[in-house]
Amino acid sequence: MEQNITVAQYLKLRLEQLGLGQMFGVAGNYTAPLLDTILADDNSPIRISTNANEFCAGYAADAYGRLTGFAAAYVTYSVGAFSMLNTLAGSFVEQVPVLLINGAPTNKEDSTEKHTGLLYSHTTGYQFVDINMFRPITAAAERITNARQATYQIDSVLTAMLTEHRPGYLEICEDVWRATCRAPVERLASGRDAIVTVSEVDAAVTITLDRLQAADKAIVWAGIELQRYGLQDRFARLMEVLNRTLGSPDKPIHFVTSAWSKSVLSEQHPYFEGCYTLSMQEIDTLIGSDGVLLGVGANTIGKDTGNQNIRGDRTLLACQNSLFVGAAFYPSVDLGAYIDLLTAGLEQRAASRHLTGLRINRVAPLQLLAQPPQLGYDSFFDALGGWLTAEDVLVVDAGFPLIGAQSVPIAAQNGFVAQAAWLSIGYSVAAATGVKCACPDKRAVVVVGDGAFHETCQAVSDHHAYGQNTVVFVLANGIYGIEQQLVNPNPFRSGEGRRHYPDPLQNEVYPYNDLPHWNYSRLPEVFGGKGHRVSSLDELGSVMAEIRDNPQQNYVVEVKLDKTDIPAAIAAHIDTDVGEDETDNPNWPPATIF
């Protein structure tokens, strides 16, 4: 006889089978039946902890999913779900499987609202508003209104998430949670192997081998999908074979990473070359005019490529489902199969002596600037690089912190977390909650600008409430620096590079980029934890030493920076880069707007 359980129990069992250990969210009565079902089982591995708000919950779930392979968050209808739209969009863009569980009004309430015009709490009058909002940014979305179909709808969403490595959405009416359904029949798995299509993986490997053979120089770009699809060990094996078959002790073959894929392998790996922005100019430096850049698991995003289209005859970009070689496109290429076949193909050709050695262009490793006498972006990151250990996970926010952190050496694989494609400010502080839940033996270290910290500072309360030892360095320059730099970098220029415009507004930071002044170091008095404020390298060093001496304490450290200080990576181009508002920008405004 078929065993019957409730819909809430069914979803609970599925989440446990997928290895979920932590749920994030803000409680509401519509999701309470699920939460109560989990709490009632003392043997359930799933921990439920509330968050300061939905932003904090969504970012924490995203970071947890990056490091564990699956995450879940719960909200209540509309007022909770709407706040999650930004966080789930980031998970969609950055290929993180986060399940959003949205409790919805009962069927009776929907019917009453539809026929009488009575609006219940959190409703707009249109019953499909929530699910239609999330459909474009999920692998699958289902609205569950009856228990008979619930099992199939739940399984279809979870299977789509496992297959596509993207978020999923379940909207479950409150009166359905406790209704009965059949128990799970078998475990879920990715549906990718069952996809019927014609793969060109063999052709993709062949063209890759041919291009490597013909190239004078080559370097490998390790992309983010190696981490997302659990292929890091297989990529490391590929690098070993490349060096055994093509390289030599004096000319090893190296790999680079980018902002999105930083720490996809340990930066102490013997073949690691550096973390780069792979613009066309940087590619010229790395491989020259006759070389090849082989991207493995590498998607092209603006932050990684300097907002340039780098596809061309010198680039081979293999990512899940495709290989691009110049204008040629090879579809349905499973990335894992590509890596395995390429590794085998290299060994076979080497054994057959058909593959000649490559002359590898090795650039000098990234050099940190000498420590200046006063505290600034570069001196801070220099100090941070010497202070971090393999037991830390560095979580960095968008803007100047993300740019400045690229030179920080990361010892541990997956020791760097950043939202480098979606670039939603405030991500890092809340993401650190999920990092610590995913890696309880590690310490999350956050670097965030003061503007971004304004967005999710409440996450410090989560750090303390969860008993986490997270450290948050708030780089406080008093402005939205990256926004000013993009629109008009003139205030950051100095000496002969500084321009003097007739309009005085163009010579100073725009007022709308100024931030309200907070005493950041005193926020732990409210949220929990310990606060410090530093304005010199000596003070920073003393605080860093104290943090190491207190491994159980969470901290907020306010790092005071000059308003016009910028990282060296930006300073190198600040005199030649032209902002959108500058009168001598030949590319602005775009001709297409007329």
For 204, list phi and psi in degrees, rounded to 5: -65, -40
- pLDDT at residue 357 tops 50: no
Share of the chain above pLDDT 90, in %: 70
* Residue ranges of domains in the chain, CATH in brackets: 4-194 (3.40.50.970), 201-352 (3.40.50.1220), 377-575 (3.40.50.970)
Contact 417, 395 (CB under 8 A): yes
Per-residue pLDDT tens over the stretch 414-443: 999 999 999 999 999 999 999 999 999 999
**Other C-beta atoms lying within 10 Å of the C-beta of residue 347:** 14
Q: What local confidence, expressed as pLDDT, does residue 120 receive?
A: 67
Give the DSSP H or E segment for 206.
Answer: helix 201-214
Q: What local confidence, expressed as pLDDT, does residue 577 receive?
A: 84
Query: Which structure tokens are listed for 409?
Result: 């050496």
For 144, list phi and psi in degrees, rounded to 5: -105, 115
3-class DSSP state of 135: helix
3-class DSSP state of 466: coil
Side by side, the strands of the sheet bearing 530-534 are: 416-418, 392-396, 443-449, 471-476, 555-560, 530-534
3-class DSSP state of 192: helix
**What does the alpha-carbon distance between residue 433 and residue 453 come to, in Å, rounded to a whole number?**
14
445 forms beta bridges with: 394, 471
Query: What's this model's pTM, rounded to 2 decimal places?
Result: 0.89
Q: Which residue has the higher pLDDT, 584 or 252?
A: 252
- pLDDT at residue 311 tops 50: yes
Mean pLDDT across the stretch 556-566?
97
Across 31-190, the runs of DSSP E, i.e. the strands, are 47-50, 71-76, 98-104, 140-144, 168-173, 180-182
For 99, list phi and psi in degrees, rounded to 5: -90, 120
Query: Which structure tokens are listed for 433?
Result: 């909650």
Share of the chain above pLDDT 70, in %: 89
**What does the alpha-carbon distance between residue 242 and residue 263 come to, in Å, rounded to a whole number?**
20
Exposure b/e, 418-430, CB count within 10 A at least 16 = b: bbbbbbbbbbbbb
Q: How far is CA 3 from the centre of its chain?
A: 41
